[in-house]
Structure 1
Amino acid sequence: MNKEEQVLLGFRDLYNKLVWLNKDKMEESLKGYKPSEVHCIEYIEKNADSNVTKLAESFYMTRGAISKLTKKLIEKGLIESYQKSDNKKEIYFRLTEQGKVIYQIHEDLHNEFHERDKAVFEQVTDDQFDSMLKFVDKYNRHLDAEIKKLGTDLKSE
């Protein structure tokens, strides 16, 4: 196995282990909510003036899929829609009080997992972080270009 394969396999293994380790606690604490719903709540809380287009771009989902997801979240009382006085055409989303509770549970879990894994990150030097971030950025830009080449704009379907 060459280094490229080792890196990709390593990323996949890391991701799968994180998902497995965090899964039970996430499911127990956020019972009744799908991961896509929780991540949508997280995005809305962290990004002002979230709308269907921004959510679709962030999650690499179609606007139609995001519309269904936000409709469910509105029905569950977790988010609400609003319009700005200067732009009556665009619809934005914000969390309700109930949505903020779910957001906080999710944040607390992430903080707990971060504490669990802190020992590893404390040993990483700034140069090592910079190297990893540079690689991730370069790979992300490459994948964005490949997506664009396909002529399939996931963000606008």
Structure 2
Amino acid sequence: MNIVNEIISSLKKIQESNEITVPSIKNKLTFSQIHCIAAIEYIEDANITKLSQELGMTTGAITKMCKKLLNEGYVWKYQKEGNNKEMYYNLTELGLGVCKIHKKVHEKSYNKKKAIISQYNNEEKVTILRFLNDMNSIIEDTFSEVVENYTGSDD
């Protein structure tokens, strides 16, 4: 395999690693679900609107995700006195456990990445950063194009 294909293969592996198994948890969680759990921990009175804004997802997607997290025992919901319309979310012990693991994973991952990056000189770091920015741009542009073409074809 040539170096270009190896890089593309490596990027594909990174992109497709969107589920993780957490010990003592019955089902795999997507990164979006884990980040939703983490957001519920630090957002005061977390509701669908606040979570949607924080995570950059639609309210429909957040509603569906919170319903699943509720059904699987990661979160519980509540209402404030005098407000029977708005639902808020808080973490269960199971959700707090996921949050704790999430924080440790981010900390370890950050330190490992920092150690790897320190092995490169400044010129290489600039090239790596430019490459990663280009890759992110491709992902964003491709997604936008597909969504635009998809929604445009329904007219």
TM-score range, shorter chain: 0.5 to 0.7
Partner of 2:150: 151
Name the SS of the counterpart of 1:103 in structure 2: helix
- Counterpart of 2:10, as a letter, is G
Partner of 2:135: 136
Gaps of 5+ in 1: none
Aligned residues: 143
Greater shift, 134-143 or 37-46, is seen at 37-46
**Alignment equivalent of 2:52, drawn from 51, 54, 58:** 54
TM-score (ref. length: structure 2): 0.58
Name the SS of the counterpart of 1:10 in structure 2: helix
Gaps of 5+ in 2: none
Post-superposition shift, 1:74? 2.1
Partner of 2:23: 29
Post-superposition shift, 1:11? 0.7
Superposed CA RMSD in Å reads 4.3
- Counterpart of 1:54, as a letter, is S
- Counterpart of 1:100, as a letter, is L
Kept in 1: contact 2:74–2:94 (CA 8 A): yes
Name the SS of the counterpart of 1:80 in structure 2: strand
Kept in 2: contact 1:78–1:98 (CA 8 A): yes
Post-superposition shift, 1:80? 2.9
Question: Residues 4 and 97 of structure 1: is their aligned pair in 2 closer, same or farther, counting only changes over 3 Å?
Answer: same
Instruction: Tell whether 2:11 aligns with 1:11.
Output: yes
**Alignment equivalent of 2:77, drawn from 77, 81, 85:** 81
Larger Rg belongs to: 2
Kept in 1: contact 2:22–2:98 (CA 8 A): no
Kept in 1: contact 2:74–2:91 (CA 8 A): yes
Kept in 1: contact 2:47–2:86 (CA 8 A): no
Kept in 1: contact 2:47–2:89 (CA 8 A): yes
Name the SS of the counterpart of 1:93 in structure 2: strand
Question: Residues 122 and 83 of structure 1: is their aligned pair in 2 closer, same or farther, counting only changes over 3 Å?
Answer: farther
Name the SS of the counterpart of 2:150 in structure 1: coil
